[in-house]
Amino acid sequence: MLRANAHHGAIPGFKRNLLLREFIPSPGCSIQTMSRAGLDFNVFGEAYFRRNRNAFGQVLEMDHLPAINMRVKVGGGFVMLLPDGKKVEFEEDEVEHVLNYDVEQDIYGVPDYLGGMQALLLNEAATLFRRRYYSNGAHAGYIFYTNDPNLSEDDEEKLKEQISASKGVGNFRSMFVNIPGGAEKAIQIIPVGDFQAKDELEKVKNITRNDVIAAWRMNPALAGIIPENSAGFGDIEKIDRVYTSNEIRPICQLFNQLNDTLRDDRRFTWKTPKETVDSTTSGA
């Protein structure tokens, strides 16, 4: 469901980018490795690394292992599932497993956004319904009612043809009807279904969007949402600093467990808050 909604698909990549902004690579962990692991952590709530050792057993480098393919073995160790149905097994000490703690189990990490899945599915369903509504050409949400003796059978057949022709590409056409001597209300359009009025697509989309970004603990100003008032969301640089401090740096601390395993001269570091502010200001 990662691509079921524009915000749900974009936010994990954005949070990964913020993580990389804080990251200072080292020979033990490259920026490519942290980029992939950071995206895994945001999507799955966990990331896996393979410890590469030298002849003395020292860990010199971490390689990324895709979380979507990794499984924890019963009794210890890990297994990576391959596309051809084969498996690659790892011993317990070969893999570094960074996970977001879950109160119900400690085997796999769990992402925090799961509480927003129903809102995500409703948002997707509303979009798909509206798209199919336009694509299938069945927009005749009304009854075309006639009750006039002056309407000939030929005119009636022509009206049926015009209504049928309104389906598909080029729909929503206007129709002109002239009945000489026809009585008042000889022709009436009786609505029976109005998607815009009944289902209120915009309201559904906005409410579910807000639920999705709330599940991600994402600030609206950083989520690409257009403010609905003239004041906007406030100082974007302050919002960025607070969000980075409260949301991104704690994730950085979780990844520090890799440094507990890497040899001292192969460890990576993170930027200090001042360095982050300086780099952001200079970039602006």
pTM, 2 dp? 0.78
Question: Quick one: which H or E segment has residue 251?
Answer: helix 249-255
What confidence score (pLDDT) does residue 168 get? 54
What confidence score (pLDDT) does residue 72 get? 96
DSSP state of 232: T
Q: Tens of pLDDT along the chain (284 residues)? A: 888 988 999 999 999 999 999 999 999 999 999 999 999 999 999 999 999 999 999 999 999 999 999 999 999 999 999 988 899 999 999 999 999 999 999 999 999 999 999 999 999 998 888 887 777 655 555 666 666 667 777 877 887 777 666 655 555 455 556 666 666 777 776 665 554 545 578 889 889 999 999 999 999 889 888 777 766 778 889 999 999 999 999 999 999 999 999 999 999 999 988 777 776 666 55
- Closest by CA to 96, choosing from 122, 62, 66, is 62
Phi-psi region of 45 (alpha: psi -120 to 50; beta: other; left: phi over 0): left
Q: Torsion angle of alpha carbons 145, 151, 156, 159, nearest 10°?
A: -70
What confidence score (pLDDT) does residue 105 get? 93
What confidence score (pLDDT) does residue 230 get? 67
Domain ranges of the chain: 6-112+223-283, 142-192
Q: How many residues are given for the chain?
A: 284
What confidence score (pLDDT) does residue 192 get? 56
Distances (CA, A) of 171 to 3, 126, 155, 156, 162: 30, 21, 21, 20, 11
What confidence score (pLDDT) does residue 133 get? 73
Six-digit token string for 81:
């599932």
